[in-house]
Structure 1
């Protein structure tokens, strides 16, 4: 049975273009189109699509408002179309916080070398999120408050600061109620830093983890998220405003410091040199033939060389297998590898690649990572 898709955009040309691309794949079918968010909400209740593609800026009702209402009434996987601008980045992050699972640039040429590759990428993204179980939103009972700001440390919309919970986090919480997890037992191993690699679903996953890391955390944290260059600065700013630790977009020459998280800049590669107590960052353009900029494998490979056995590395939700080769190099040096479990992933691609290769010593749900990281790192 074909995956049913609802296309939402105020441009008739773009609705037609997206519909043609989706319908070109025999496993996908556009069942209808809507020209604004209000129409989309009505159609979702009536047609029950498997996936929705959603524009952000539309008359009558914008995409972010529509996503919030859809997640409250008829939870459905949503793929957002975004402009690659600073304002577009902030709006897209708002949409992800509202419940959208992934995003893709409206200008396909920004993410692909040719039309064929762009068509394939859109089709893959739709199929990747199609079977993701999405839970209805609930308002947290007593959200924790960040020491940095008055906003809740759970997911928070910058438009009105209403506490929001990730649909994936909700699913993980529901699973926990049925099967309470055992308390994490730290290994006692010593580390110099934490490194996290992720892709599809990563913005929500990283925000979920970082907002629960306490102030005064004793090690640096490296973040490698597949994301366009225009998005990473806005994402780092958002994480910094919501977290108790400091978060910044990495810059060439940064000396790694405890209690700081460094987000790899989009369009660049982030390497680590073993200089100083914790290391120093190199941010370079890198090889144009590499599929991902930033690339988890490249950062992890540099860590295997510079920090050998002293890395706590983890792979979160994402399409593909980026991170597997880097994790193999780290494990060969004696470092520790964790992977997110399938149930809490938006896309169980990258974690599955690591787990299937036998590289992960732990697989855990998203909402267990922050507690486990703090317990494993300890105060040393």
Structure 2
């Protein structure tokens, strides 16, 4: 970091976005905007003169698209990159590719009403830049390529096994998309039912779930209100909505609903964990993973108090250790394990 704090370069072909983001970040204590560029070619010339701590990057730009530029950065000089992407299905899918290529996070932008939206929601970009600067970035070990897809699931001949005996609740934020990929792709088809809150904007969670479904042996989908929790199925809370688990006789169902943000988030990990504590108790496993802030720490404590096994991702493998650290501080964690051990804990939970 520079003597003035976190240094940032903004790369976006919209002059309005560059203007709004530059002002918002420059007005934030401890952040210095080194400059703005309208495309990656100009950005690289700027960055070669003064390399930033964080890059804020659009995806669709002239001369070179953002994902190609991201891969170039990660292959030569790994640097935290925040994707500023359009709130659309096309933008969501492109953002998943960017996250798979090593982006640290995503901040949405609409296709219309851009200036007002960015002004109203600009606090998200400040938080994202701070989280990215505090995190860890590793050189891509796959040359920017996605992992091979899991073997195709056999055609369904029977409904999923629905059981109230076991339930896995996972909460994560910054760095969570990559961490969840590591966990979900390592699970066998008969894994216990999983419910997940990943802090992510509306529309992006569906694209994320679709990508994980292709890569994983288990089924992964964005949750809908009333979905049953079933073995071999992971339900991801929709962006912009809370998810809770409710008891339905010998089964569990999810409730997807609106409501005010909790700990600045919707969906909130605390909302999910507290609901699991109430209905599942000792039959549940709670996992808190990489992320900034403290969302999920108190809910995990409630799960542990109710008899659930609780696990936190260890500091060494977190992009940002904030959420697990707060859970440990509160006494909410039974075990701290590295990212690569979490799938095994899930497999053996009985």
Category of TM-score, reference length = shorter chain: 0.7 to 0.9
1:85 aligns with 2:88: yes
1:215 aligns with 2:189: yes
Instruction: Tell me which residue corresponds to 1:138.
Output: 141
Q: CA shift at 1:12, angstroms?
A: 2.6
Pick closer, same or farther for the CA change 1:114–1:357 going to 2, 3 Å: farther
1:347 aligns with 2:314: no
Pick closer, same or farther for the CA change 1:225–1:110 going to 2, 3 Å: farther
Structure 2 Cα separation of the partners of residues 90 and 20 of structure 1: 29
Structure 1 Cα separation of the partners of residues 224 and 63 of structure 2: 41
Structure 1 Cα separation of the partners of residues 72 and 243 of structure 2: 38
1:10 aligns with 2:13: yes
Pick closer, same or farther for the CA change 1:131–1:333 going to 2, 3 Å: closer
Task: Name structure 2 gaps, 5 residues minimum.
Answer: 154-163
Instruction: Tell me which residue corresponds to 1:185.
Output: none
Q: Is the 8 A contact 2:262 2:271 kept in 1?
A: no
Q: Is the 8 A contact 1:193 1:278 kept in 2?
A: no
Q: CA shift at 1:25, angstroms?
A: 2.1
Q: TM-score normalised to the size of structure 2?
A: 0.87
Pick closer, same or farther for the CA change 1:80–1:196 going to 2, 3 Å: same
Q: Is the 8 A contact 1:7 1:52 kept in 2?
A: yes
Q: Is the 8 A contact 1:82 1:89 kept in 2?
A: yes
May I ask how many residue pairs the two structures share in their alignment? 334
Task: Name structure 1 gaps, 5 residues minimum.
Answer: 150-189
Structure 2 Cα separation of the partners of residues 243 and 350 of structure 1: 25
Q: Is the 8 A contact 1:269 1:294 kept in 2?
A: yes
Structure 2 Cα separation of the partners of residues 332 and 289 of structure 1: 21
Instruction: Tell me which residue corresponds to 2:256.
Output: 283
Q: CA shift at 1:24, angstroms?
A: 0.9
Q: Structure 1, residues 39-58: CA drift from partner, whole Å, max 9, x if none?
A: 33344344221110101110
Pick closer, same or farther for the CA change 1:108–1:341 going to 2, 3 Å: farther
SS in 2 for 1:244: coil
Aligned-pair Cα RMSD in Å: 2.7
Q: Is the 8 A contact 1:37 1:65 kept in 2?
A: no
Match of 1:147 among 120, 145, 151: 151
Q: TM-score normalised to the size of structure 1?
A: 0.81
Pick closer, same or farther for the CA change 1:272–1:138 going to 2, 3 Å: closer
